[in-house]
Amino acid sequence: MTVKVIAANRKAYHDYHVLDAIEAGIALTGTEIKSIRAGAVNLREAYARIEDGQAWLYNVHVSRYDPGNRFNHEPTRARRLLLHRKEIQELHRRMLEKGLTLVPLRLYLKEGLAKVELGLVRGKKQYDKREAEARREAEREMARAVRREVATAAR
């Protein structure tokens, strides 16, 4: 099974606690899939919402496909997510019950089809962000110290 990651939403991991993840297909037009294969996608401000029993993806910026002429797509149009009805109902129930949000974590091609990994997330507080950054910095510092120690021991 070949998976090629096209875009990742790294900011989502900084701004949210990811509680659960689910894979969904995306209904696309011809010029959109060509643009996605070229890697012209931005997930930064994107989110998903469930409306009238269907899941929709908003604010994903898929750049226009240059050779697409007059049949080109709108870059930030709402795109339908392809999920089973029970998956949609479960996500909707969890979002209403706990005040969670659906955010795309990454967009990838799996066996030639565009898929999006949706994360069920809860927003982080400012102090959580600072704490995570401090932890990452401490881990980097420890790794540097270990590398220095190994380098001096090898001499």
63-77 pLDDT, tens digit per residue, is 888 887 787 888 899
pTM, full prediction: 0.79
SS3 at position 60: coil
C-beta of residue 125 within 8 angstroms of C-beta of residue 15: no
Contacts of 62 (CB under 8 A, 6+ apart): 32, 35, 36, 40, 41, 73, 75, 76
Q: Which of 53, 13, 36 is nearest to 116 (CA)?
A: 36
Q: What is the mean pLDDT of residues 33-62?
A: 92
Give the percent of the chain with pLDDT over 90. Answer: 52
Given pLDDT bands bounded at 50, 70 and 90, which one contains residue 132? confident
46-57 pLDDT, tens digit per residue, is 999 999 999 999
Q: Which of 103, 102, 82, 104 is nearest to 92 (CA)?
A: 102
Residue 105 has pLDDT above 80, yes or no: yes
Q: Give the helix/strand (H/E) hosting 110.
A: strand 101-110
